[in-house]
Amino acid sequence: MSFKLQFADGQAFTQPLGKIVCVGRNYAEHAKELNNPVPSAPLLFIKPATSAVELGKPLRVNSGHGEPVHFETELALLIGEPLSHVSPEQAERAVAGIGLGLDLTLRELQSQLKEKGHPWEVAKGFDGACPLSPFVALEAIPDWPALSFTLSINGTLRQHGVVSEMLFPIPQLLAEMSRHFTLLPGDVVLTGTPAGVGVLEPDSELAFTLGDGQTSHLKVTTRVTE
Ligand code: ZN
């Protein structure tokens, strides 16, 4: 597997990528756009490490599954310490870095599986389903609850997420995850998508930003190919 966890300054993370733990609905506006109820506890699922690719590399619209691939832009957390049944405060201190990820989804397949009450991993865990950016070391982000991120496609703003608008704030989210799965150094957590999800179109340019209003921490651009 060629994907390597690294920081924005080019330094490699000490551990290989483990699992990618994701939350299904963490922004009210996104739950609404897909006609899903707002959950009372986070809806968790896992993408395998084999789904990770570099966010800066060209993205293929053709996943080989014969249906459109949908994008969801999400804040990604790199876990730096083992977490099992921890408090929100302990969980917060274990974050080693913050970056961006795409939770690529075969929406039609996911909807069919959901209707039948089946697990929908195959719609979310295929090879290439999790492009990840490099991570900004947490020390470089003094005010991370103020972070926001954007996705523009061909110069038009499509998604805008603000950490403070998450239904389950990051410390609580990580603590809840750690009650179900031990999080290990090298695991990545995707924190849910804001509204504005859609289909990856060929020959488009995707530009991602991560900042806190004062400082831009990360900019990644990628192209979508056939
Ligand atoms: Zn998602």
Which pLDDT tens digit goes with each residue over 156-177?
999 999 999 999 999 999 999 9
Q: Judge residue 45's burial from the number of C-beta atoms within 10 Å of its C-beta, 0-12 exposed, 13-18 middle, 19 or more buried.
A: middle
Q: Residue 100 has which token pair? A: 């961006």
Q: Residue 14 has which token pair? A: 């000490």
Indicate the Cα dihedral angle 140, 222, 51, 2, nearest 10°. -80
Cα(7) to ligand 1 centroid in Å equals: 22
Cα(194) to ligand 1 centroid in Å equals: 9
Judged against a pLDDT cut of 60, whether residue 1 lies above it is answered with: no
Residue pair 200/61 in contact (Cβ under 8 Å)? The answer is: yes
Cα(2) to ligand 1 centroid in Å equals: 23
pLDDT digits (tens, 9 = 90+) for 24-79: 889 988 888 888 888 888 899 999 999 999 999 999 877 778 899 999 999 999 99
Cα(14) to ligand 1 centroid in Å equals: 26
> 57 to each of 37, 72, 79, 80, how far by Cα in Å?
35, 17, 23, 25
Mean pLDDT, the chain, whole residue set: 93
pLDDT value at residue 33: 87
Tell me which residue of 21, 25, 19, 18 sits closest to 114, measured CA to CA: 25
Judged against a pLDDT cut of 80, whether residue 196 lies above it is answered with: yes
Give the separation between CA 12 and CA 200, rounded to whole angstroms: 29
Cα(5) to ligand 1 centroid in Å equals: 20
H/E/C letters for each residue in 51-93? HEEECCCCEECCCCCCCCCEECEEEEEEECCCECCCCHHHHHH
Tell me which residue of 108, 102, 149, 109 sits closest to 130, measured CA to CA: 102
Residue pair 22/52 in contact (Cβ under 8 Å)? The answer is: no
Cα(72) to ligand 1 centroid in Å equals: 6
| Second-level CATH architecture of 20-145+161-201 | Alpha-Beta Complex (3.90)
Cα(131) to ligand 1 centroid in Å equals: 12
The H or E element that residue 99 is part of is strand 95-102
Give the position of tokens 């750690």.
178
pLDDT digits (tens, 9 = 90+) for 83-111: 999 999 999 999 999 999 999 999 999 99
Q: Which DSSP state fits 136?
A: E
Cα(45) to ligand 1 centroid in Å equals: 9
Q: What is the pTM of this model?
A: 0.95
pLDDT value at residue 220: 97
What share of the chain has pLDDT > 70, as a percent?
Answer: 100
pLDDT value at residue 169: 93
Sequence spans of domains, the chain? 20-145+161-201
pLDDT value at residue 176: 96
Give the separation between CA 32 and CA 30, rounded to whole angstroms: 5
pLDDT digits (tens, 9 = 90+) for 108-122: 999 999 999 999 999
Tell me which residue of 2, 139, 133, 125 sits closest to 75, measured CA to CA: 133
